[in-house]
Amino acid sequence: MATFQTLPGFREFYPEDLARRNHVFRLWRQTAVAYGFAEYDAPVLEPLDLYKAKSGEEIEAQLFSFTDKGGREVALRPEMTPTVCRLVGARANALKRPIKWFSIAEFYRYERMQKGRGRCFNQFNADIFGEPGPEAEIELVALLIQCLCAFGLNEQDFYVRLSDRNLWFYYLEALGLDEPRIRGVLGAVDRYEKYGDDAFKGYTEQFGALDAVLKDRILAFLQIKSLEALEHTLASLGDKLTARLADWRKLLGGLEAMGFAPYVTVDLGVVRGLAYYTGFVFEAFDRKGELRALAGGGRYDDLVQKLGGPALPAVGFAIGDMTFALLLEQRGLMPTLVTAPDVYCVIGGPAERLAAFADIQALRAMGFRVDYPLKDSAFGKQFKAAAESGAKLALIYGTDELAKGIVKIRDLKDRTEHEVRPGDVCSVVRDFISAG
RNA sequence: GCGGUCAUAGCUCAGUUGGUUAGAGCACAAGAUUGUGGAUCUUGGGGUCGCGGGUUCGAAUCCCGUUGGCCGCCCCA
């Protein structure tokens, strides 16, 4: 059996694995729908240029890409954002605003495997297009939090760190830095948590040592953990910052009114790489800090246009399934038995089997999950199978029952039995199941 | 791409200084058991000891290579 194995980093889902995955997907989908988001999907295979256009040439090293038989350069999708931008961009003028969309899809990245990271994984993606104000962020951060709370996680388990690339730009601008230097500082900020002072090495090499006073102010800014401190630090540093602070108040106020304040922290240490983000950015982490990021997102107002669409503001985030599953398992929130029949039939012999088939068929047509042994076997074995199946009821089709013109129905939990007429089987089962 | 570490049954693992036909528990299957529950007992199927090469009379065991897993680095859209 060792001849053919899965490609490195790829996963197989045996029924019990898929049951868990389906459970996760079901709650994500249910939550997104409750928030008024519409589901979409798109091809797994895309033109390679779609990702080069967004992320540059160097991205190719981490893509599953190849040339197809028609000579096209293609790649398995590593993320959903460029695809959804194309979808929305193509019909931007016809779509009702705001455009609130989500998807649950599989992605591929040619990377080294690690805990919570594989070469193929699933993400829940949600985006809002056409809304430039922080109202879109309120909705999305709320959805992100709810997507985790839906599983029983709470503010003891995870939190969302909220940051803002605009605020950094305006602040560093106010401190007198030009754009290349601002980008350099943001690069250092992104790495500061991990490398401490060494994070500024790259900046120093490129621009020379950062002025000590300036650096202290940047590090102090990095430490800010509340809106009040933010307002205090930025008071009277110019109109841009004042206006931006109003957005912050609106965003945090909205989340507080939704009851999500305990989940959100101001944390300017989050920069989200140097990619395409243009405003608020946020990441969700487990409180213990043992796992990789659970989710991440932010505003990307320029990307739709960059990919050939009209100018269209956008915010979005994604939750990955691997780290999330690890967290659920850590907290004992991943259910084990998600699938069990409602009814298991115990069958005495060939003649009884034919009698049972009529009821089995009728019950299945009513939507009940019904199972039975494919081959005749001892009653003891069948009752054992019935109990192990997790079914609530057993229907007993034996010689004695048929001779008496009845079917025996057994409650597998309290082990009581009673007799019903064959014509009443369906209604009795229905009443029992619906009574819980 | 780099470094560390590991690889024996579906799973968890044992396997002595290199020595007969590689074991246990769990799981699976059959029987005891053609009329009532997750038990017990008996039995069974299942292994190229990751793969390839080398040393040796003899390799699961030692050596080299390789593939894959795990952990970390780079990266993380």
CATH of the domain at A356: 3.40.50.800
Closest to A408 (Cα-Cα) out of A425, A385, A384, A426: A425
Separation in Å: B59 C1' and A111 CA: 37
H helix or E strand, kind and range, residue A395: strand A393-397
Is A2 a residue whose pLDDT tops 60?
no
Residue A286's pLDDT is 95
Could you give the dihedral angle defined by the CA atoms of residues A229, A231, A234 and A236, in that order, rounded to the nearest 10 degrees?
-140
Separation in Å: B26 C1' and A167 CA: 58
Residue A1's pLDDT is 43
Closest residue, CA to C1' of B48:
A2
Q: Is residue A269 part of a domain?
A: no
Q: Is residue A384 part of a domain?
A: yes
- Into how many domains does chain A fold? 1
Report pLDDT digits (tens) over A212-227. Answer: 999 999 999 999 999 9
Report pLDDT digits (tens) over A366-394. Answer: 999 999 999 888 898 999 999 988 899 99
Q: Are strands A65-67 and A99-108 parallel, antiparallel or unpaired?
A: unpaired
- In the complex, which nucleotide's C1' lies nearest to the CA atom of residue A300? B77
- In the complex, which nucleotide's C1' lies nearest to the CA atom of residue A378? B34
Report pLDDT digits (tens) over A254-276. Answer: 999 999 999 999 999 998 876 78
Angstrom distance (rounded) from CA A194 to CA A216: 18
| DSSP codes, A137-172 | HHHHHHHHHHHHHTTT--TTTEEEEEEEHHHHHHHH
Q: Is residue A157 part of a domain?
A: no
Report pLDDT digits (tens) over A59-75. Answer: 888 999 999 999 999 99
Q: Is residue A15 part of a domain?
A: no
Is A13 a residue whose pLDDT tops 80?
yes
Separation in Å: B54 C1' and A73 CA: 44
Average pLDDT over residues A193-199: 86
- In the complex, which nucleotide's C1' lies nearest to the CA atom of residue A274? B77
Average pLDDT over residues A19-23: 92
Residue A312's pLDDT is 97
Could you give the dihedral angle defined by the CA atoms of residues A137, A139, A140 and A145, in that order, rounded to the nearest 10 degrees?
120
A59 three-state secondary structure: helix
Average pLDDT over residues A397-402: 91
Q: Choose between A410 and A56: higher pLDDT.
A: A410
Query: How much of chain A exceeds pLDDT 70, in percent?
Result: 98
Residue A337's pLDDT is 63
Query: How much of chain A exceeds pLDDT 90, in percent?
Result: 74
Could you give the dihedral angle defined by the CA atoms of residues A270, A266, A277 and A216, in that order, rounded to the nearest 10 degrees?
-60
Query: Exposed/middle/buried for A183, CB within 10 Å: 0-12, 13-18, 19+?
Result: middle
- Quick one: pLDDT band at residue A82, thresholds 50, 70, 90? very high
Q: Are strands A343-347 and A393-397 parallel, antiparallel or unpaired?
A: parallel
Separation in Å: B44 C1' and A349 CA: 26
- Quick one: pLDDT band at residue A206, thresholds 50, 70, 90? confident
Average pLDDT over residues A134-140: 98
Q: Is residue A362 part of a domain?
A: yes
Angstrom distance (rounded) from CA A283 to CA A315: 13
Nucleotides of strand B lying closer than 7 angstroms to a protein CB? 1-2, 10, 30-39, 48, 50-51, 67-77
Q: What is the ipTM of this complex?
A: 0.89
Task: Identify any residues that bridge with A299 across adjacent strands, giving them in sequence order.
Answer: A315
Find the range with the poorest average confidence among A155-169, A257-271, A333-347.
Answer: A333-347
Average pLDDT over residues A308-329: 95
- In the complex, which nucleotide's C1' lies nearest to the CA atom of residue A384? B37
Report pLDDT digits (tens) over A272-307. Answer: 876 789 999 999 999 999 899 999 999 999 999 999
Residue A365: domain span: 343-434
Separation in Å: B7 C1' and A22 CA: 32
Closest to A105 (Cα-Cα) out of A141, A89, A81, A129: A81
Q: Is residue A398 part of a domain?
A: yes
Q: Enter the pTM of the model.
A: 0.93
Q: Is residue A390 part of a domain?
A: yes
* A363, A330 contact by CB (below 8 A): no
Q: Is residue A413 part of a domain?
A: yes
For residue A62, count other CB atoms closer than 10 A to its CB: 16
Angstrom distance (rounded) from CA A102 to CA A147: 12
